[in-house]
Amino acid sequence: MHEVGIISAMLKTLERVMAEEELTHIEKVVLEVGELSGAVPRYMEECFPAAIYKNPFEYLKMEIEVIPGRIRSLDCDCEFPAGEDEFRCPECGSDKIKPSGGTEFIIKDIYGD
């Protein structure tokens, strides 16, 4: 599970933002996590309590907005939603595809003072 690493990197970013914005604490962070970003929101929520246990972010709330994955066919240029394990274009059957959406991992909002 590399979500532990993702969360600690996210907390490091928050530390930097706190210093830059001169915040004394951050109450809530809102993340946008694409289905194709490589981070699994469910795992992130599972390891979040351990990641903030007894550190400056102990009372931080994390909210995750999931962005649906989109795939584009390089052969017919159609776009379709990323399915569970559908790695072929439903229109032309091509396996030359690439993600066209849902790859983001963004800190969208930070609530603090």
Judged by the rule CB under 5 A, the positions of this chain that interact with Zn ion are 73, 75-76, 89, 91-92, 94
Question: Three-state SS for 101?
Answer: strand
Minimum distance of Zn ion from residue 77's CB (angstroms): 7
Q: Whose Cβ is closer to Zn ion: residue 27's or residue 86's? A: 86
Minimum distance of Zn ion from residue 73's CB (angstroms): 3
Using CA atoms, how far residue 65 sits from 6, 30, 107, in Å, is 16, 7, 10
Q: Do the Cβ atoms of 91 and 78 come closer than 8 Å?
A: yes
Which phi and psi (to 5°) does residue 11 adopt? Answer: -65, -35
Minimum distance of Zn ion from residue 36's CB (angstroms): 18
Q: Whose Cβ is closer to Zn ion: residue 63's or residue 91's? A: 91
